[in-house]
Structures are given as C-alpha cells and as structure tokens.
Structure 1
C-alpha cells in the first residue's frame, strides 16, 4: 500500500485546494494512505470521511499587515519543516507539495531523501519577488513539477521532469449544472467568483453594478462575512439593490445555474491567471 504525505498551506474554497481535493480523493479511493498537513475549515476537510486519510491541522489566516503576515508565514513554514521529520524513517513515501507556498516541508523532504513532487498552480514570474524566489526554490527541490498549463510551464527554466495536467471540474459538479440559454438571457444576472484581493477587481465589479442598474450582480467571495463587512466599510461601498455579496460557499453550482454571464476581472497588470477553475 502506497503512502502520500501532502502539504497545503491555506485550506479554503479557492481553486488550488479544490483541485487538491480531487487529486487526493482519487488516491484515497485507490486505497493509498494519505497524510494531509494543512489548515482548518476548508474544502479539504470534506475528505475526513475516508478512513485512510490522516489530517494534521494548524491555524492559519491572512492578515492585513504585510510584515506580520510574512512572519506568520515563516513561522508556519518552520512548523511544517520540523513536523515533516516525523516521517524520517518511513520508506516508499512521496512528499506532495500543493502550490509554491509550503517550501518548508519540501526542503525537509529533500534533506530526508524523500521524493518531492510539486503541484504548481501559480505563475510566479508575473507576481512579486517572493514568488519568484519560491519558484527558484521549487526548481531546486522538486523531483517532479506538475503544471496546470503549457503557458505556465513555459516560464520555468527546468524542462526535465515537468508535466502538464490541466485543471478540471469534478463530474458531480458538472452533473448539477443546468444551463438554459434563453432563460439565462432573460434573467440578466451577472456573476463573479473571487476574493477580496484588489487585483481580482471586486471594486470594479461593484462599480459595474452601480453603472448598470438594469442588471442584477452577484459576487461570491472566498472569505468570511465578517471580512466582507470590513471590506465594504473600508472602501465605503454603497450596496445597491442590484448587488449582493456572498461569503465563501461549499457549493457554487446554484450561482452558475442562475447566472446569465460570468466575469473574471483580474487586473492583468497586477496578476495573470493561470487557467484556474473560474
């Protein structure tokens, strides 16, 4: 029976943990033993029903102060680095690193002589300097890198042991989609799914709702209602009757089913999407 040790930094309802859930569920159904090291209260917790999954959790959340956030991130990396050594004497295991961020356990894996596989979701070379450093570390530490698109892979200097596996939706999600074009057109409802990060353009979406009162706008945010309320207050957002902002959702099929148009307004000058789920 094979053994997989998976590390993912922030367990929420964004694209990368959802893809990870699909990957791990496939391994679990094939009777692999999976140890998952990640934070609490996200989509990955839906895997706890599997007896061959062992989840090791820690608290993690995003903070507004960038210096405090970096210190918090470094502390979690140190924790994961040390925690990874509990598998020092385990044979035939793979360290599966989801996204660039868990660099601590990747380093520990290489020190212990374990096979390290990265699932690379970001495009570090169109982000900040810290992401570029993490991408350089990944190319040094990884035995294999899984990219989500050829475009994303083209930025990496390492060309060996590189594979491309496009993101996909679970079949059970697709089976629940009911799209009737004529009815969708008549509803005049505009949908966007994203986060409160400004490069995702939530403020631009709000402005569209303000300028187009003849349409209904729905924004599904991967965050808590408390943080949404703070965001609305901070940016003095006037919630019109045609705009509704929802906190993170376990299932978004109902939003897609009643939408006429789905937008992705990511600011290409600040971030370039890497063929994610939206």
Structure 2
C-alpha cells in the first residue's frame, strides 16, 4: 500500500487547509495510507478532523513579524530533523503550500518523491519567497497549481506541473444542489463576504461599503471571518461599525450563510494579496450566488464580467456600492446571474478534483 505523508504549516479555516482535507479524504478513500504533519499545537481548522494519523511539530505565531519568521524557520529545522529518521522510500511527501520547506529538503536528502500543492503567490518578505522557490526547484518532482494564472505566474521550467482546480466538498456540493436561490430573503438583500481577518482581504473596504449602504434598509451586510472573538474585537477596536453590518467569527459551517446570501463579495487587494483561485467564490457560485470579485488572478477563471457576476477592484468602493444597489433594485438581473453561476460551478466538480489528485500518484 502506498503511503502519502502530508505537510501543512498552520491549521485554520482558510482555503489551503480546506483543500488539503479534501485531498486526504480522496487518497484515503482510494486505499492509500495517509499521515499528516501539522505545525502548532492543536489549532482548530479544517484539518482537525481528517481521518488519518496526525503528528505535530513546533510552530508559533507572534504579533511581531521578526519573531514569527524566527519561529517559522525553527519549525522547519525541527521538521527536517524529525523526518531524517524516515526510511520508507516508496512513500510520497505531499507539501501543501510553499511554506513547509523542511519536508521538501528532507525528501530530497532521503530520496523520497516530493509533490508540492501550490496555492499562493503573495509571500513576504521577498527573500523568503525567493528561497522557497529555490527549494521547490531543487526538491520537487511534481507541482500542482490551483489555477492557470498561478501556473503561469509561479511555474518552474524544470518541474512537471499540472493545474487541478479546487472543488466544493461533497457535503457542501449536495447542499448547494438542493438550494434554490432567492435574490431577497425575508425582504432583505444579503451581501456576504467570507475571508480571513486580514486587511489585504478587503475587510476595511467591506466595512466602508456597509457605511455607504447604511441608508438603504433593504441591504444587510454580513462578514464571516476565520478568526476568534478576541481577534475580531482587537481588529475592530476603535472602529465605528454601522448597524447594517453583522460580523461572525470562528465559523466552521458556512453553508447557512451561503443559503441566505443574495450576492457574494471578494475584495482582496491585488497590490497586497492576489487571489490565486478563490474557493469562497466557487462555493458561492455553486449556490447560484452572483459574485463581485477582483479583476485579476484566479477569480477571472471563475467569473466573467456581467455573466456570473462582475469584475471590480476593491478600491472602487463607491462603484461597488452602486452595483449592489442596482442588483437589489433589479432582482431579475440577479436571477440571470444566478443561473450562469450555478452552471459555471458544474465545471469544478468533486469528481474532477479527486480524479486530478489521484492521477498524481498513478504509476508511482
């Protein structure tokens, strides 16, 4: 039986651990033996309940960026030394994101095949990104990219690569298939954004949108954040929030929020963070929700302007507010966009995702 050992740095409720949980599920169903190395101590996230052996290695984040960088470097040294005892050369080291480079270096030293699943392009500081790309160049046998945009932007000339689009998890896919989109729910036009609690995700722009739309009683804004209550309280300390804005923290089940949404926003700021795919966008499309997304990066492969939604940069806050009021006043437009969104989502099925992932291990 083939053994696949997965490596991820930080478990949370963001996209990359969610996708990895689907990969682990797919290979486990196929009969492969799976093992997962996670950094940190028991942090909650999508990888908390995956059905495989889990092992932890040191990692801790700090408010100070330099301390976090030192902690990260130490964590990869610890991981590298742990893995040097590994002897099963028929195994595969599956490195999720560019960050767990200690696993890739160990795989190279041990003669074990290394596969990278690359999700990101926005890594700082720049010297770190240069180093991580060097490790991939030297150690990886094959790279998986989450979009064609990312494959073009971060491709490696000497490493085999393939694009495997993310998919909606089976349980969510089933819920989406049963869902009937409503432009208005209980006479409210519900504007949803789901993201990490980072300024580069456009959180402040969403707050500003809520303020601009606060005089329209029909529009309700909902911000679902992958963060604790304490982190949310700290982030918004000193910021006046309008009454039409609801903020939800530490949400592991986002399905009810999709079921009530009239439109989905993705407001990542491309000059700070380029979305390489946009898993929440795909999830929104699967529920037939029109989406307003950045005009660059992976989202362009999910949404065509005026078809499934609109391509609008997050710095156009007033224009986005006007577009939301237009959609709220024209439900027939919402329903047309919704039909196209549902249709587009069918191109990103769980079956295609699993087939692509399992194809990486064929003949190996």
What's the TM-score, normalizing by structure 1? 0.91
Partner SS state of residue 181, structure 1: coil
Partner SS state of residue 27, structure 2: helix
Alpha-carbon distance between aligned partners in 2 of 1:125 and 1:240, rounded to the nearest angstrom: 33
Post-superposition shift, 1:60?
A: 4.1
Match of 1:135 among 121, 133, 136: 133
Contact kept, 8 Å, 2:58 with 2:75, in 1: the verdict is: no
Task: Give unpaired runs (5+ residues) of structure 2.
Answer: 281-364
Match of 2:244 among 242, 245, 261: 242
Query: How many residue pairs get matched?
Result: 271
Post-superposition shift, 1:171?
A: 2.3
Distance change >3 Å, CA 112–CA 226, structure 1 → 2:
same
Alpha-carbon distance between aligned partners in 2 of 1:21 and 1:225, rounded to the nearest angstrom: 25
Alpha-carbon distance between aligned partners in 2 of 1:71 and 1:134, rounded to the nearest angstrom: 15
Post-superposition shift, 1:251?
A: 1.1
Alpha-carbon distance between aligned partners in 2 of 1:206 and 1:247, rounded to the nearest angstrom: 15
Query: Using CA pairs below 8 Å that are at least 6 residues apart, which structure has the higher relative contact order?
Result: 1
What's the TM-score, normalizing by structure 2? 0.70
Contact kept, 8 Å, 2:190 with 2:260, in 1: the verdict is: yes
Moved over 6 A (4+): none
Post-superposition shift, 1:130?
A: 2.0
Distance change >3 Å, CA 220–CA 127, structure 1 → 2:
farther
Q: Matches of residues 1-278 of structure 1 in structure 2 within 5 Å?
A: 1-39=1-39, 40=42, 41-47=44-50, 50=51, 53-58=52-57, 60-87=59-86, 89-124=87-122, 128-155=126-153, 156-158=155-157, 160-177=159-176, 178-184=179-185, 186-213=187-214, 214=216, 215-233=219-237, 236-278=238-280
Aligned residue for 2:291? none
Post-superposition shift, 1:82?
A: 1.1
What is the CA deviation profile of residues 155-174 of structure 1, one whole-angstrom value per residue up to 9, with x for unaligned ones? 22426411110111112102
Partner SS state of residue 158, structure 1: coil
Contact kept, 8 Å, 1:95 with 1:114, in 2: the verdict is: yes
Alpha-carbon distance between aligned partners in 1 of 2:139 and 2:169, rounded to the nearest angstrom: 30
Distance change >3 Å, CA 179–CA 60, structure 1 → 2:
farther
